[in-house]
């Protein structure tokens, strides 16, 4: 399949997912947006308190984390392990601020994005502050609660310079 065909298929699929279904009334969508903002405010409090269980409770059982410089983390158990390790990092703190929440017309999916600030100690114990941004995708659960399905974060810091290896030199040929 060509890149164009793959892109067109992806756009068509996303359009169907986002726009299909019975439209949710605007007042319900507004209430869902408020609910997601409240979830993110509570998640930020849980992160500030390093409360692993409370923080992980905001994720769906089949959620995925896409964090920089780390492998994909899937499932609530994987997210719990990753969160435990992160919260145990010396000097760790996380804060984030929601910028936008958008709920699909069908009312079963939503996304949010915003800014974040992560602090960790470097190898010498000095705090390093990393400001960045995130996108979270939510899915409404059968009980009406919203849970994070996908969580993507990245840094505003410049990418580290690639390590450059010096080329190997051919051994010098001796004179005969």
Measured in degrees and rounded to the nearest 5, phi and psi for residue 65 equal -110, 135
Q: Determine the pLDDT at residue 160.
A: 77
Tokens of 16: 């169907």
Show the CA angle centred on residue 67, arms to residues 66 and 72, nearest 5°.
45
CA neighbours closer than 13 Å in the CB half-sphere of residue 9: 6
Q: Is residue 145 pLDDT above 90, yes or no?
A: yes
Average pLDDT over residues 142-150: 97
Question: What's the number of CA atoms in the CB half-sphere (13 Å) around residue 6?
Answer: 3
pLDDT at 27: 82
Res 118 pLDDT > 60: yes
pLDDT (tens digit per residue) in 74-104: 999 999 999 999 999 999 999 999 999 999 9
**Taking the model in full, what pTM does it have?**
0.76
3 state SS of 108: coil
| Confidence check: pLDDT of 108 > 50 | yes
Q: Is the CA virtual torsion 10, 12, 15, 19 positive or negative?
A: negative
Please, what is the average pLDDT of the chain?
A: 85
- Torsions phi, psi of 142, nearest 5? -55, -30
% residues pLDDT > 70 (the chain): 79
The pLDDT value recorded for residue 17 is: 42
HSE at residue 176, side-chain half, CA atoms within 13 A, is 1
**pLDDT in the model for residue 172:** 64
**DSSP3 helix / strand / coil % (the chain, rounded to 5):** 35, 35, 35
User: Which domains does the chain carry?
Assistant: 23-155 (3.10.450.50)
Which H helix or E strand runs over 38? helix 26-48
pLDDT average, residue stretch 95-122: 96
**How confident is the model over 30-77, as pLDDT tens digits?**
999 999 999 999 999 999 999 999 999 999 999 999 988 889 999 999
């Amino acid at each position: 399949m060509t890149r164009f065909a793959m892109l067109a298929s992806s756009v068509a699929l996303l359009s169907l997912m986002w726009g299909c279904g019975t439209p949710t009334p605007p007042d319900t969508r507004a209430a869902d947006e408020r609910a997601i903002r409240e979830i993110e405010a509570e998640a930020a409090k849980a992160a500030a308190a390093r409360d692993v269980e409370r923080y992980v409770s905001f994720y769906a059982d089949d959620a995925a984390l896409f964090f920089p410089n780390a492998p994909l983390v899937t499932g609530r158990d994987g997210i719990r392990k990753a969160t435990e390790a992160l919260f145990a990092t010396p000097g760790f703190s996380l804060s984030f601020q929601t910028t936008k929440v958008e709920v699909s017309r069908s009312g079963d999916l939503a996304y949010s994005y915003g800014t974040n600030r992560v602090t960790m100690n470097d190898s010498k114990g000095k705090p390093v502050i990393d400001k960045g941004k995130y996108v979270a995708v939510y899915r409404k659960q059968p009980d009406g609660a919203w849970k994070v399905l996908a969580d993507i974060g990245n840094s505003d810091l410049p990418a580290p310079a690639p390590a450059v290896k010096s080329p190997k030199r051919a051994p010098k040929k001796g004179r005969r």
